[in-house]
Each structure stands twice: as C-alpha cells, then as structure tokens.
Structure 1
Amino acid sequence: MSRLNRSLIGLALLLTIAAPSANADDKPLIQAGKKTLFQRVLTTPGCQLSASAAGKDGVIQPTFSRYYVYERAQADNTEWLKVGPDSYGKTIGWLPSSCTVEWKMQLTLAFTNSANRDRLLFFKDRPTLEGILDAPDPVSKVAPLRAKLKQGVMAPGVLAQEPEYFVDMQKQFYLLPVLSGEEVMTEEGFRTRILNVASVSKTDEKTAEQNNQKAVAAGAESTAAGAASQMKEFSAAVVFVIDSTISMDPYIDRTREAIREVYQQIEKENLGKQVKFGLVAFRSSTQAVPGLEYVSKMYADPNQVKDSSDFLSKVADLKQAKVSSGAFDEDAFAGVMLSIDKVDWSKFGARYVVLITDAGALDGTDKLSNTGLNADQVRLEAANPGVAIYTLHLKTQAGAKDHVKAQAQYQNLSTYPGTNTSLYYPVNAGDLQEFGRKVDSLAAAITSQVRAAYMGDDAIGSAANAKQDPADKKMLEDSALIGHAMQLAYLGEKNGTQAPPVFKAWITDRDLIKQNIPTTDVRVLLTKSQLSDLSDVLKQILDAANEGLISPTDMFERLRSVAATMGADPNQLKQNGNAKVADLGMLGEYLEDLPYRSEVLNLDEETWKSWDGLAQEKFIRNLSTKLRHYQRYNADVDRWVSLADKSDARDNVYPVPLEMMP
C-alpha cells in the first residue's frame, strides 16, 4: 500500500476561519504550531466537570460535548483543562485531560446508505485494517470476520460494525468525529482514507467490545422479527416533475395514463394509503416571457391527494405552454426544488421525484434561473429529506445540440447519495412508446416495492421482476436497490438507530471489498460566523476572479490577499481584503499534507492563464452558486446544532457537505 503522505487533520479554507474575537485574556488557547486555531476537546463517557483543578464531586458531562480550552494546569499529577462551552470568554469549570480527546478540526462523518455494500467495520488498531487493504484478496481477510459477527461472536480486532439500518444525519444528528487520518492506495488500486474516529461507548473498552458484540447478535434477532410488522406502515410518495413547455403534451398525457393504470391496480389491492402520487409542472422565467404563466406550479401534492379520481381531476387542466420560452433550456431545477421544499416528505418512507424533460436545465448563474442553484446543490437539497430523483431525458431531435450538456446535468442531479447510483435514463429520439414503457415500468416497480414490504415479501426481488423488459433491466435493478435503501432508512428512523457504541477506532471511507463505493461522507461543522466569513471570502474571490478575466495577475494578487488576510486575522477581512500581498502568508501552515484542497486554493496563476474564457467563466459560476447556497444553510434553522450545553448560539454549527466548500 503506497503512502500519499497526507494527513486528515484539517480543511484548507475552514482552517483559515478562526472564531470571532474576544478580549485577549478571554480567548481560548491556540493549537500548538498554529496562529489562529483554538484548542478544542470532546468529552468521553463519564467525564466530570469540577469547579477547580483536582476538584472532587464533579458533574458528569454529556458524552461528546465540545469544549474550548482556556487554561491548562497540573494538579495531583494530572493535567486539568479549564474549559468553556464556546469561544466567547465564558468558562464553566475544569476537566481532567485524561477523559477528553483533542478535536483539532470540526470535521465529522456521516454514514452512507449501506444498501449496496457491506456494513462498515470499526477496527481496534490500524495494522489490522492495513492488513486487509494490503491483501491481494481482501475477501479472504474480511469474510471470516463477517461470519463471526453474523454468529454474534467476537471478531478478532473488530470493535463494532455499522448499524444494520441507515442512520440519517438529516433527521438525527450524530457525531462521528475525525481525529486524524491518511490517504493511501490500496493493493487493488483505489485511493481510500484510513481514519481514526471516535464514537460514543462505555468507559471500559473491553466491556464496550463485549456489549457491542452482544448487541449485534441480539439486534439481528429482534430487528428481523420487528421489521416485518414495521414495514406494514411503509408508504411511498412519487412526485412527477414535468416540463410543460411547447412540445410536451404527448408526454404529459402518457404520464397521466401511466399513473391512472397504476392507481387502478393499487386501489384494487386496497393499497391506496401506501402509495401516493403528486405532480409539479415547470417552464421558465415569466419575467422574460409573461405568457408562460408560471415558472413552476404544484398541481397535486401527494399529502392532499385522496384517490385516483382526485389526482386526475387535479391534473386535468395541465397542458403545454401556448408560447415559447425563447431559450431551449428550461427551469427544471425550479420544478424539482418546488417539490423538495413544498411537499411534506416526512409522512412517507419511500420518497421519489421523477423528472421528465426534453431540455437542459438553466444553470444557477443564468439570469433567468429562479433558484440560483446548480445540479450539485439541488441534489444536496434533495438528500435532506431523503428524496431520490429519477430523470427521464427525452432526447428529441430538436434538442440534439443540448443533449451532452443536459445529460451531464441530469446524471449529476440524479445520483442517489451513498449508493452512487445515477438514476438517469435517456429516451432515444424522445420516442413516445419507449417513454411510455419506462414510465409504466418505473411506477409499477416502485408500487411493487411498497406492496412487497406491506405483504412481508422480498421487496427487492418483487421490484426487479415488475413488468420487466430487457431494455429497462438496469432501471428496474436500480429501482430495486434504491427501494432497499429507502427501507433501510425507514427502519433506521423507526428504530431510532444510532451510531455504534465504540470509542476510538480505525475505519476506511471506502468499502473493504467494493472499494469504489464510499462508506462515509464528510461534513464540515461551520458556525454562523464562520459561514458568514466564508461567504465574505467567497465574494472577495469572485470579485477577484471577475477582474482576472481581464488581468490574471491582478486576480491572483487579490486572491492571495484574501487568503493571507484570513490566515493572519479573519476579523480584518473587510478592512484589508484589498491589500496587496505577494504570498499566502499565514495560510501556508494549513495547506501542508491535506487530502482535500479547495477548488480556489488548488488553482495557480499559470493554470488560470492557460484556460480559455469559457473555462474561466465556468469556474466563477461554480463559486457563485455555492455562495447562493450558503444563504439556504443560514436560513435552515432546523439543522443548526449546539455541541455543548449552554454554549453561545453563535457557536452552533451546521453540517456542510464537504463538496460545498470552495
């Protein structure tokens, strides 16, 4: 296994954003070797907070409370930490350092859905994990461990395994902090990260191991018995998001027909409560073309549809537009976002959007865009309520010049997180018969999954066999996989599944066998002030980039100025953001050996100059859409999290996906 010599202890841009200023005497201590980063620790189980160093009768703190370190002292041959819940000068007492772990970087992991991979294993030590990654045949190393875990007995070197059911961070926030790590190349040729992580456990490690193994065995029996009854309540919502511009009438009519047929079948089987359909239509900017009547419109909300007659009456007057929108691209993202934001998805276990269009989508930076978002951002927003987006792309002759760009957009949009499955399906030449077959098959497959779950059958097999046609085999297989993932998420929510009870452990961010499949996603925990500072920095860089279109030298002087200002004193950003600085200044200390380099800081002046105007424009547009997306994070009050009791609300954090960092 070749080392790439990279250490996962930080993140370039976030590391440049320190906490807001306080009086000099009231600031937390700075991390060793750093200039601006405060010392932070996480409490372990049983950690007691005392009024003084070496104090008695301390109060046990919630596990994984994040505290800032304001002072270190020795007492009774033990190091003690004077801590506060936030970085604003408020201290609350002393903790023995022995019951804390340093958390240099506010990075945490989120499990991906394990529908198409094995459950993640937590290893006691790094060498055991490395031995698997170094093996020419990793299956020979992993299979015996899996066999023992399945029998409910101890597996050598394994502390725990990922829960059987999916733990959705969007609904139940949990911490799986990254303490350190390194990117390596496996024997099979995949880049993966070996990560040292922490998770809640019993204080005694040996007891934790034994308890976890018992829980694995007991859980397998109890959850198997309870899952069937819980699945009786499993339901699905399918919202069709349809392009209703000129030329779309035949596809609108055919979609209505498919839903009518499916409704007849589910009502015959008394499954009307288990499957609900909705419909959203979209066009383009009504400011540019008032005759379009709407940008996007909810015709049928699945929560409000009573039965097939009600649905069909709600969508009866849906027709294609009477006027052309001018440009070929339409505002597909506005239609998808209307369904994401306005439908109450929480009442359904399976959640689907089916996008139907013959055109590309307006980019977020297009002046006609209603959302200001690109495919990346819309996909991330859909992941919040756990919605899978299918795209049926009608490749009509009229849009031939648009097909390549549109396909890239929709393949990105329709990649289901965790399984890395793209639910994008082209319809060649916009053939109405092929389209009808795909709509019929997809609606029937989803319905079959719900029917099978309700009846206690094998939902995967049932879905894969529903109205199967050789041409649609992949779509049906994908549908079965996503249906399985939805059920794991549903059962995880119903059972209140939590991260496994183990403290320090070693994992990989890729499956040990299917090494192209990720086991975790990275979340960067940003405070309100950090998000605000990041937005300010990004705006500065955008301004610099726009100038760079004329003068690359000036663009990079501005870029380096912003970076250096953030490294030296983030609070001087607005005052000194335009200063001329010839190098990266303080920022350099943060950039060594990082596995993640930001899009901005990875760019050098020579590369920028080598790009043509279109490439430079694309770079700037991508930054601009991320900046708009930060506004949604700021307004998303439900997902801001406090990491310590009684901490200042300004230190609450938002779990920002790594790919949304500049």
Structure 2
Amino acid sequence: MKKSVISNIVIAVSLISLPWISFAAEPLKQAGKSTLYQRILSTPTCELKKNITDTTGTSVAAFSRFYVYERKNDNNQEWLNVGPDSYGKTVGWLNDSCAIPWNMQMTLVFTNPVDRDPLLFFKDKASLTNIIDASQPESLLKPIRDALKADKPTAEILAQEPKEYVDFKNNFYLLPILQGEEVMNGQGFYERVLEIASVSKQDTLIKKNSKSTDPNTADKNANQVAPFKAAIVFVIDSTISMDPYISRTKEAVERVYQHIEKEKLQEQVRFGLISFRSSLKASDKLEYVTKVFADPNQVNTKEDFKKLSASLKQASVSTAYFAEDSYAGISQALNDINWNNFGARYMILITDASAIPGDDKLSSTGMDAAQLRLEAQHKGVAIYALHLKTPSGEKDHQVAATQYSDLTYNDFIHKSLYYPVNAGDVNEFGKKVDSLAKALSEQVKLAYQGEASVGNVLNAKDDNSDMLKDALLLSKAMQLAYLGDTKGTKAPTVFKAWIADKDFIKPTIPTAEPRILLTKSQLSDLSDVVSKIANAANDGLISADNMFSQLRSVAAAMGQDPSKLKSDSVTKIADLGLLGEYLDNIPYKSDVTGLDQDTWKSMSGLEQEKFIRNLNSKIRYYQKCNADVDRWISLAEGSDPRENVYPIPLEMLP
C-alpha cells in the first residue's frame, strides 16, 4: 500500500438544479435532543434520487451537509429524505449506506507541521490508544514512521498529513469530527482523541496565486519558494519617552536595508511602520490614536522608508494612563495593510507600556489580546513584542508581560514571541531590533534560494539566541505555509480515522485544533446568554447568592423547568441549561459551565473581575464574527443563508 497523504482538503458542494424539490415539516431530531436535528454528510458514492425506486439519480458533491427529514426502509435498505437546510425544503432521497452521520457540527484544522512529526490517521481507536497510553511512545512509533518514510504499508495507519501546511484560513476544508473525548496520556498530559472523516477532490489543486499550473514543475522545485516575499511591519509606541527607541528602530531598518540591497533582495523584503498613542478623548493634542507612516506595499527602497518615517516623533503631551492603546496599533496593522502580497508576514510591537483593555472607556477597538491574536492567526501574521521594561513602568511590567505573551502566542511554533528589554536599555533594544530584522530578512534570502532555513544562520553565542531560534523556526513554518498554498497535491478518497490532537513525542504541541461551526442564530444565542452570565457575575461581585439566583431566573425565562432548577443537583452553571444543545458533548473544558456558587465565593475580587473581563471579551469576539460577512461559510448549495456557519475556536466558547 502506498503511503497516503492528506493535502488541501476542500469542501465541494454543487447540487444541480432539481425539479422535484418539495417542502416538508422540520427535520428529525437527534436522539435525546429537543433542538438539534439529524445531519449527515454525503460521500462520493451518493446519488440523490427523486424516488427510492429510481434506478439512477444525480451525483452529489462529497461532504455536502444535509438534514434528514424522513427515514424509510425498503428492501432491507434504509433511505433518507434530505434537504440542504432545516427550513422545510427537501431535495430527494439518499441511501443511508453512503452517508456519514454528523451530530457534532465540528471540523478539524491542521496546525503548522514545523517542529513536530506529521499527524497520523489511525484505522481504529485501539491502535491509537495503545500509543497514547504508553509512557515512552517513541518505541511504538519508530517502526511506523520508518515504514511510512520508506513508502511501505503499515497495519495501523490509513494516512498522514502532508509536509506542507494546509491553510484552513485561506482555503476552507471540511475535516468533520464525528466523535471525541478528552483523555490523559501516558505522560500525564491531557489531549483529545477524535474520530474524523476525510474527503477531497481527486484532481491536483493548484491555487489561484500559483505561478505554475504544472505539478511536475512543482515537484522538481519542491524547496524553491520564489517569489517568496516578506513584510516586516513595526508597530511602535510614540508617546512621551519613546524618541530614543523610535530613532533606534529607524536606524535598525536602515542597516538591514543596506544588507538586503547588497544581497539584491529589495523585491523580497519590504518594511512598514505604524505608530500608536492613546485616546484623543483624554487629550486631542496627542494628534492621533494610530497612524500608518509606511505601508510595505508602497515602500520599495531605503529612501522611501526614510522619507515616509521621517515625521514620526514622540508626542508632546502625556496620555491619561500609563497604559497606551497598543491594541489599536495592532488592529490597524492587521486591517489596513494588504498582507496577501507576502508569504512571510511579521509584525514587531515596540512599547514600554501595557495595553488599554478592550472594556476600558478609552479603548478604541473594544478588543483584547486573545481576539487580536486570533485575527492575526487568520491573516497569517506573526506578532513579536519587544517590551521596554523601563524603571518608570515597574508597576506595569507584569500586566504588560501577561497581555503581550497572550497577544504574541504563535500557533505555528506554539510559543509566545514576547521579549522583554531589561531596564529599557537602548543599546540592548538596538541589538535585539538589529538581530531580529536581519534574521527575518536573511530567512527570506534562504527561502528564495530554495534552502532550508532552520539552523542555517544561527550564532549560538549570540545574546539573542533564543529570539533568533524562534525567528528561524517561524520562518520555516511560514515557508511550509506558503508552499502548501502554492503547490497542489492529491488527497485520498473518503475514509474514517482516529487521530490525537497533540504530538506523541512533544505532548504540549497541538497537531490539530477543533473548530465548532455555529450558525448566525446559534452565535447570536451564545452572545446573548454569555451577556446574561456576565451581568449576573457583575451582581455576584456584591453577592454570590444574587448571581446564581439571577441565573436561575434567566434559565426559567428560557423555558427550563422551575422545579428542576431548585433541585440540589443543580449546582453549576452547566446544570442550569443556559447554553444550547449544540455545545453538548463537545470535547472541551470550560471555566464557565463548571463554575458553582461555592467556587465563585472562594474567588478573590481580582479573580472574579478577570472572569467577567474574559466573558466580555468573548462577547466582543462574537459580535465581530457576526459582522464578518466574508467568513461565513455555506455547507450546502441551495441552503438558506441562515444555515451558513462560522468556525469558532474552542477557546472562544464560554
């Protein structure tokens, strides 16, 4: 058996116009559920028939999502009367043997495969569990990995993921989760064991931004990623006291420009510059909250950058807080710069202060680190933070470190790109900026020449060696992502398999991340319920009894049985039935649903306030998702737009 490789897995839904469309009552409910309908996914063998007795039907695109309106047994075969949405429209009959039940509307997203082994797809749960339970899984994995490298058959494995990164954000693919559970592995770490299904089109998929449509050419130049370009955008604090760092940043860019001009990389590396201050509500003399001084799409030379950045100076007046609106600078860089022209996308935040929280009256974005991190991930932008720990900000250092560690957590290399500069030393800062900017641009040169980047230009004696190691690893990850977006490879036909969402050898590194696909109404309900929980929690700052009494009232208003709500067994938020059934059986742990009255009482005031801020930030994220027209996805052609879904990361669930 040849080694199977999963590549750019796509959902291809293209039902042809069917004259026999009819309308029925609501779909069948899932067993034990009052609001969830039975859903199935089609496979390539499915044919949609007007009548069960028809000899032929219409081919259906693989992984079309259908709702089941009726089940009928005919000649020992079960048939399903299906529709593309839950609003009464049926389009014909499918044989149950070709359909995959999809009760949890969840899909799986590959992480970048840099710095971990390829994810393995096991034929059965027992084979996977055997490795998960092992205290030393290396010995069990070695013969499997060796066989796969030699293209030899393995008894346990159906497939493994490709070498290149399959980018879910740019090209939505459906890798549905059929069931799952959270377990503790033999090394004492929690991970998820998931059964998934897979299907993709069987032709070579060359993306629209690929320069070549010849897959043979791509194979011959497997390591060549030209025209691989990089954008390095500095997002810099320009409030009082920042002039020395502004000047040193400009100097660093000029030095790097000399280097890239010498290497003739002007077309491959572009720099940008954005500055931020704080709210003009407190002082209009600050001139601006954020401002783009140099857009990397418009900067071609060192002289261009120098001219555009010349007017950047520190503010002449103080801001209302020590904290500044750095989140506004990050947001503008993410939203106002066209990153699509660059394979490597870097942002370097430079500040001596923490960020104004999203729920503060002076915040211009209403967003916190977690939401901006997810937005950066969506756009494929890596954020670095150089935090100037000046003596004047000593009381602010820990707040800033916590915020920026969260903001800069990179899902490619699975760590934060946060680097403090002790005492705000200008010389130390200068060395860091020089090293980082040069390392990132050097990686573009290596990628352009078709060389592997990791470890090629690392001076282990360098004072910034940890930062450089991260930069090199990240550069390799971006190359893999770029290759995955420009090369086309074939994917296997439909299969079911079991996977672990953490690397076997490095169990803190995720191999895949689940997303729950929520409709607009579900997301709206979730936002409404979380708002009610947040309001009750605010009341709970005064009295924990008031909080849970209010939540019981909310649950009763939502139709929950009042007698049940008074039961001694109803002690946690989850027991109140506030959250929709679409979150039932989802394999994730929640700080909200598991909260009980005694735990809330035992929390300090700061812990309770943090809990409330976390809820409010998630509400703002839901609101942003709801308004994000471009990212809503239809899972079946002809379905009502109300059935479109948005992929929500599990960390954003309450």
Match of 2:463 among 447, 466, 471: 471
Q: Distance in 1 between matches of 2:577 and 2:602?
A: 28
CA distance in 1, matches of 2:162, 2:316: 53
CA distance in 1, matches of 2:579, 2:366: 33
Which AA in structure 2 matches 1:359? A
Task: Answer yes or no: is the 8 Å Cα contact 1:199–1:499 preserved in 2.
Answer: no
For 2:89 and 2:577, locate their aligned partners in 1 and report how far apart those are by CA, in whole Å: 28
Structure 2 unaligned blocks of 5 or more = 1-22, 203-213
Q: In the alignment, which residue of structure 1 is the partner of 2:368? A: 374
Say if 2:529 and 2:578, in contact at 8 Å, map to a contact too.
Answer: no
Which residue of 1 is the match for residue 356 of structure 2?
362
Correspondences of 1:616-655 after superposition (within 5 Å): 616-655=608-647
Q: Which amino acid letter does the alignment assign opposite residue 259 of structure 1?
A: V
What is the deviation of 1:539? 2.0
Q: Distance in 2 between matches of 1:273 and 1:188?
A: 48
Cα deviation for residue 432 of structure 1 reads 0.7
Aligned-pair distance for 1:551? 3.0
Counterparts of residues 458-537 of structure 1 (less than 5 Å): 458-465=452-459, 469-496=461-488, 501-537=493-529
Rounded Cα–Cα distance in structure 2 between residues aligned with 1:474 and 1:581: 56
Moved more, 33-42 or 594-603: 594-603
Deviations 1:203-244 (A, max 9, x none): 9xxxxxxxxxxxxxxx99986532334x12001000000000
Counterpart residue type for residue 28 of structure 1: P
Tell me: CA distance 1:654–1:343, structure 2 relative to 1, closer, same or farther (3 Å). Answer: same
Name the structure 1 match of 2:43.
44
Aligned with 1:544 (options 531, 536, 539): 536
User: 1:103: which partner in 2?
Assistant: 102
Match of residue 212 from structure 1: none
Report the CA distance shift for 1:260/1:588 in structure 2 as closer, same or farther (over 3 A).
closer
Task: Confirm or deny: 8 A CA contact 2:25 2:88 kept in the other structure.
Answer: yes
Which residue number corresponds to residue 380 of structure 2?
Answer: 386
Secondary structure of the residue aligned to 1:114 is coil
SS in 1 for 2:164: coil
TM-score in terms of structure 2 length: 0.89
Contact 2:325 / 2:364 at 8 angstroms: preserved in 1? yes
- Show the counterpart of 1:447: 441
Tell me whether 343-352 or 45-54 shows the greater mean CA deviation.
45-54
Q: Which residue of 2 aligns with 1:260?
A: 254
The structure with the largest helix share of the pair is: 1
The CA distance in 2 between the partners of 1:599 and 1:496, in whole Å, is: 41
Q: Which residue of 1 aligns with 2:422?
A: 428
Q: Which residue of 1 aligns with 2:25?
A: 26
Q: Is the 8 A contact 2:24 2:89 kept in 1?
A: no
Which residue of the partner structure matches residue 609 of structure 1?
601
Closer, same or farther: CA 95–388 of 1 in aligned 2, 3 Å: same
Alpha-carbon shift at residue 608 of structure 1 (Å): 1.3
Residues 313 and 567 of structure 1: is their aligned pair in 2 closer, same or farther, counting only changes over 3 Å? farther
Partner of 2:56: 57
The amino acid that maps onto 1:315 is: S
Question: The residue matched to 2:114 in structure 1 has which SS?
Answer: helix
> Which residue in the other structure is 2:206 paired with?
none
Matched, 1:296 2:260: no
Q: Deviations over 1:443-492 (max 9, x none)?
A: 01001100111122332233434xx6532110010001100000000000
**Paired letter, 2:368:** N
Comparing 522-531 with 468-477, which one deviates more in the overlay?
468-477
Q: Distance in 2 between matches of 1:622 and 1:244?
A: 29
- Name the CA distance, whole Å, in 1 between partners of 2:393 and 2:282: 21
Change (3 A) 1:647 1:220: closer
* SS at 1:321 equivalent: coil
Mapping of 1:267-278 within 5 angstroms?
267-278=261-272
Out of 227, 242, 254, which is 2:222 matched to? Answer: 227
**What is the Cα deviation at residue 561 of structure 1?**
4.0
The code of the aligned residue for 1:533 comes to D
> Contact between 1:109 and 1:176, CA under 8 Å: does it hold in 2?
yes
Structure 1 residue 613 displacement after superposition? 2.5
Structure 1 distance, partners of 2:553, 2:99, is 37
User: Which residue of the partner structure matches residue 12 of structure 1?
Assistant: none
Specify which of 548, 556, 566 is matched with residue 556 of structure 1: 548
Deviation digits for residues 335-358 of structure 1 (CA, Å, limit 9, x no counterpart): 011000011111100000000000
What residue is the counterpart of 2:65 in the other structure? 66
Gaps of 5+ in 1: 1-23, 204-218, 570-575
Give the aligned partner of residue 8 of structure 1.
none
Cα distance, 1:44–1:592 mapped onto 2, change above 3 Å: closer
Give me the whole-angstrom Cα distance separating, in 2, the residues matched to 1:54 and 1:558: 56
> How far apart are the structure 1 equivalents of 2:579 and 2:557?
12
Whole-Å separation in 2 of the counterparts to 1:304 and 1:285: 28
**Match of residue 11 from structure 2:** none
CA distance in 1, matches of 2:385, 2:608: 29
Q: Classify 1:585/1:285 alpha carbon distance in 2 versus 1 (closer, same or farther; 3 Å).
A: closer
Q: SS at 2:456's partner residue?
A: helix
243-252 or 605-614: bigger deviation: 605-614
Q: Deviations over 1:587-646 (max 9, x none)?
A: 699688764243321211111122233222221111111111222212222211110111
Q: Residues of 2 paired with 1:409 and 1:352: CA distance? A: 19
- Contact 1:561 1:581 survives alignment (8 Å): no
Label 1:501 to 1:423 Cα distance change in 2 as closer, same or farther (>3 A): farther
Comparing 532-541 and 559-568, the one that deviates more: 559-568
CA distance in 2 between partners of 1:562 and 1:288 (Å) = 38
Work out whether residues 418 and 518 of structure 1, in 8 Å CA contact, stay in contact via their aligned partners in 2.
no
RMSD (CA atoms) = 2.5
Q: Are the aligned partners of 2:215 and 2:488 in contact in 1 as well (CA < 8 Å)?
A: no
Superposed CA deviations along residues 349-377 of structure 1, whole A, max 9, x for unmatched, are: 00000000000111111111111111111
When normalised by structure 1's length, the TM-score is 0.88
Q: Secondary structure at the match of 1:377?
A: helix
1:85-134 Cα shifts (integer Å, max 9, x gaps) = 01111111111111111111111110011111011010111121122223
- CA positional deviation for 1:151: 1.8
Contact 2:387 2:420 in 1 (8 A): yes
CA distance in 1 between counterparts of 2:486 and 2:473 reads: 20
Whether the 8 Å CA contact 1:167–1:497 is kept in 2: the answer is: no
- Superposed displacement of residue 136, structure 1: 3.3
